[in-house]
Structure 1
Amino acid sequence: MRYRSMRWWSVANFVSNAGTWMQLTVQNLLVLQITGSATATGLSMSVQAAPALLMSLVGGAAVDRWPRKLTASVSQALLGAVAFTTTVLVATGGLDLTVLMVLAAVTGIIATVDGPACALLGNDLVPPQDVPSAIGVGSLVHSAGRLAGAALGGVTVGFLGTAAAYAANGVSFLFVAAVIPFLRPAYGALRQTAPGRPTDPAQATPAHAVPVQAVPAPSGPAPVGENMTVRQGLAYFMKRPRLVALAGITGVSAVFGRNYHLTLAVLVTGPLAGGAGAFGTVSTVLAVGGIIGAVLGARLRRPSVRLVGTLAAAGALLQAVAGFSPSLAVLLVLVLPMAVVESVSDTAGTTVLQTDPPAHLRGRVLGVWGSISTAWGLGGPPALGLLMELAGARGALVGGGLIVAGSIGAGFLLRRRGAAVPVVLRKEALVPVQPVLQTAA
């Protein structure tokens, strides 16, 4: 936070996240008001998420090819235009389910470019050694914006109506778009504005080094030998065991854990006999834990996939214990450390994801990740819902937590066994070689 541009970017991100969560808070209510159908509400969420399943690959390639600040500014302005269009339609009564679905799909398409562009832009504002801390700040801002946006959403709808929430979200996007042109990378952050032309002689890098941000000029070609293809990002991702392992850890956690808006809601309102207010308290504690975890995660300088997995397994075991909670008070005591541990795990995983690839591939790697995480998001709730039907809310929390912890533990054992085999073979291969070398000597 000692970098001026990072401070401005954090403020802009907080405003944007608060506006987004304000809109999300009222969007489900709007769909219910239009259709009266819970199924239609779920469908609207799926329609907005679905474009990322395939389009994220293209969006990530676009982020690698286009100037990052311009890309983020334009995508934020377009998202603001969609929000203002929705505002007008809601205010005039011209919004029906079909139009809402189209606007949701358009938002999802724009987000496939906006997500990786904004994520990587924040990393460019600090020197390479401070990128993990910048990612932690981003996670903190996201959690704080979610907490503030959800609260403001209810207040805004109560006093000003649904259209006002969409208008506030549109203003938040325009605020971010207005801030971006004034952002400057910190001294020591390596970057290029055109192929082969460092912006500062003091920041020039050797031929073998990879700059933190290597983007072509607005009208210039891609760097020599770099076609910016989607296939390159996908191939890099699949050939990196640590990224594949990270995807597995995050995937099993996303499907059988983390869906607390579903599992904890059923547990609180069912076996624990609480109401909406009780679940609101649980949600607040989860958000506070996420903020604390983001602060702790920002202190990790070089997190590993093993650390991500260990923390995810610990959070899953806490989830399993939470499934046995006899009262709301006990649940709240368990939810806080559970949220903290999982937030640190998420922050560490994001750091690995955004710093492992070379700079010219980071947008495409994030695009691959966007497609994978969307598949989890679309497939996780139905799978978890089936588990809840079979085992109930407590069974889903306990069983899901054990599945996550067991899967991660099995992965660690397989990795250790696979790493040990080559060492043994190499030692055996050296035995007959040594006498031959001694004889020749």
Structure 2
Amino acid sequence: MRWWSVANFVSNAGTWMQLTVQNLLVLQITGSAAATGLSLSVQAAPGLLMGMAGGALVDRWPRKLTAAVSQALLGLVAFTTALLVAFDHLNLGVLMALAAVTGLIATVDGPACALLGNDLVRADDVPSAIGVGSLVHNAGRLAGAGLAGLTVAFLGTASAYAANGLSFLFVTAVIPFLRPVREPAPPVPAGKSVPPVPAGEPVTRSGDDGPMGVREGLAFFARRPRLVGLAVISGVSAVFGRNYGLTLAVLVTGPLAGGAAAFGTVSTVLAAGGIVGAVLGARLRRPSVRLVGTLAAVGGLLQVAAGLSPSLAVLLVLVLPMAVAESVSDTAGTTVLQTDPPPHLRGRVLGVWGSIRTVWSLAGPPALGLLMELAGARGALMLGGLTIAAVVVAGRVTHARRAPAPVLLKNPAPTPPPRSSSRTRPPRSPTPP
């Protein structure tokens, strides 16, 4: 698990380095901010169209091999882009095609690597492993964004893509040496019963709805109220909050009259809060959807307070707990998502989640931008935070109303006293268990 964490840190740093450089590269080629947003949408689109199929493939194929091959393919795409940039043969069309291929491979790579990390620890340690993964992600994001500027300044744009390719190869080289503590459950052949699942989970039959069982994962997700509730909470939070790179940037540079340096300070505090939240999230043993909702509501109320901030200093005080609540909530939600389904369906459930999350990532920024146009940065933060808290409270009230009431017995009959017997029986020797 330590080797896997190191490999993931290297890979995350390389990925964020490439994403940072990719935005700059699109701006250099086109000079259009809209084209930059389009490149991100093109890379995310395969997750919407093929996310469930990618998750189904993860359930069907050997996990270590799947993760190694997908990482190697992502490295190949990065090296190809580096060569095209170095020889000045990269245009917008080719860049969009490479972004789409990257997004397509990620539909398999994402769930494969996530579940492989869980296989490296005992079942009781999975929440901690997910917390460590969140910590590695935030640390890699900080390192990658910082290294991007240095790499481009001293070695050129192509070197950032080449470094990302090397990071993928490093992960590919580490995977064969990993020894899972818990081997993933093998796929169940068509026509046979699935292994026992925890009480309350619908029992389905693998292979009854197509060669990959995509509909099976979708049906399982739809029949699990806690997963549906998790999707609602996460979706509302993603649309009306958490897009702090947009809302706080407008707030800092607008009403608070700050500049790029001030927003950089806010971004650093957000990243630090994310790391603190990941450490706290790693200590969770049995997170629940209720905890995710509570933290989302707390984050929403803090967002309302941030919208009312009279100065940058007050905003910085509020930003740190906002980031901590968001990070712990994300870690708890990821743990529920990856441990709630039975092992043979986890790849498909993660695929369904990937498709849903893509909808949020595509719809969130335009919706939030429209809200800021109508209500301003302060109004968008306050209305968004109140919406998140209201949805969480409404969900709790609905869940309480649907919960079955306890059955109370009226005037239960008294238990008759034991009959006395004049006969005495010799004591029986205890029966072994």
Task: Output the TM-score relative to the length of structure 2.
Answer: 0.89
Distance 1:49 1:117 in 2: 18
- On the 8 A contact 1:313/1:404 being kept in 2, the answer is yes
| Cα distance in 1 between the residues matched to 2:116 and 2:245 | 30
1:92 aligns with 2:74: no
Residue 97 (structure 2) aligns with: 102
Matched with 1:257 is: 241
Answering whether residue 378 of structure 2 is matched by residue 383 of structure 1, we say no
Q: Give the structure 1 partner of residue 75 of structure 2.
A: 80
- Asked if residue 28 in structure 1 is aligned to residue 28 in structure 2, the reply is no
The runs of 5 or more residues in structure 2 that have no matched partner are: 199-205, 414-433
1:66 offset after TM fit, Å?
A: 0.1
State whether residues 186 and 344 of structure 2, in contact with CA within 8 Å, keep that contact through their aligned partners in structure 1.
no
Distance 1:92 1:317 in 2: 51
Paired residues of 2:187 and 2:344 also in contact (CA < 8 A):
no
**Residue in 1 that maps onto 2:425:** none
Any idea what SS the aligned residue of 2:284 has?
coil
Report what 1:247 is aligned to: 231
SS at match of 1:50: helix
Aligned counterparts, 1:18-417, within 5 A = 18-186=13-181, 189-191=182-184, 208=196, 228-417=212-401
1:439 corresponds to: none
Partner of 1:155, secondary structure, is helix
Aligned partners of 1:195 and 1:224 also within 8 Å: no
Deviations 1:191-226 (A, max 9, x none): 457879xxxxxxxxx96479xxxxxxxxxxx99999
Residues 235-261 of structure 1, C-alpha deviation per residue, up to 9 Å, x if partnerless? 000000000000000000000000001
Partner of 1:423: 405
Work out the CA distance in 2 between the residues paired with 1:223 and 1:184.
Answer: 29
| 1:149 partner amino acid | G
Equivalent AA in structure 1 for residue 234 of structure 2? T
2 CA distance for matches of 1:118 and 1:223?
24
Aligned CA distance change for structure 1 residues 96 and 130 (closer, same or farther; 3 Å): same
Deviations 1:8-51 (A, max 9, x none): 00000000000000011111110000000111010000000011
C-alpha distance in 2 between matches for 1:392 and 1:88: 44
1:203 matched to which residue of 2? none
The aligned amino acid for 2:131 is G
Paired with 1:194 and 1:347, the residues of 2 have a C-alpha distance of 27
> Partner of 2:405: helix, strand, or coil?
helix
Equivalent residue letter for 1:61: A
Alignment RMSD (CA, Å): 2.2
Larger radius of gyration: 2
Change (3 A) 1:190 1:66: closer
Once residues 207 and 137 of structure 1 are traced to their aligned partners in structure 2, the CA distance between those partners, rounded to angstroms, is 30
**Percent of residue pairs bearing the same amino acid type:** 77
Pick aligned residue for 1:7 from 2, 8, 11: 2
Deviation at 1:155, TM superposition (A): 1.1
1:175 shift after superposition: 0.4
Distance 2:112 2:351 in 1: 10
- Paired residues, number: 402
Change (3 A) 1:123 1:252: same
**Stretch deviating more after TM superposition (142-151 or 154-163):** 154-163
